Amino acid sequence: MSVFSAELQSNIKSLVDRYETKRSSILPILHAIQDEHGYIKEEHIDELEETYGLHRVHVKEVITFYDVYHNDPVPKNLIRYCKNLTCHMLGAREAIGKIHSHIDEYKKKSGGECPIGIEEFPCLGKCDGAPVMLVGKKRYEHMTADKVTEVLNEYAPLK
């Protein structure tokens, strides 16, 4: 029995068939798996090798090379905050500090895990909107500490 949904199996099959070599299909396949499961588990890698002929070593190389792929659980709403020079000069450090403070305060008040987490990212490729952050796949631009607080309260409101 597959660890993937029927829809994901069909998507993976079409991706494998679309590329000249199976190895070329690894990036979009990993995105599809991560979209469905939140992260890439060992059993996913096993199935990619057994069912689709994608070599385990190649799949693991991609997962460990690119920081957009996770092989451990991540919070429901992962925030990627750009820390490049442009964002830094326009206030990213203060906004990142605000995110960390919000997460800590949420944990203290709720006594549990926070549904948001932060991952500082080298560059999100949107310097004209700096400082930039992503929550999941939703992009927020021109972030200030105050704007960050508004966004965080959408995903993890403080009570």
Distance, in Å, from the CA atom of 106 to the CA atom of 114, rounded to the nearest integer, reads: 6
Q: Is the pLDDT of residue 113 over 90?
A: no
Q: Is the pLDDT of residue 139 over 80?
A: yes
Q: Among positive and negative, which fits the CA dihedral 152, 154, 156, 159?
A: positive
pLDDT of residue 111: 83
One-letter amino acid of 26: I
φ and ψ at residue 77, rounded to 5 degrees: -120, 95
Kindly report, residue by residue over 16-66, the tens digit of the pLDDT.
999 999 999 999 999 999 999 989 999 999 999 999 999 999 999 999 998
Instruction: Give, as one character, the DSSP assignment of residue 128.
Output: G
Q: Tell me how far CA of residue 27 lies from CA of 23, 31, 74, 154, in angstroms.
A: 9, 6, 19, 31
φ and ψ at residue 54, rounded to 5 degrees: -90, 120
pLDDT of residue 136: 85
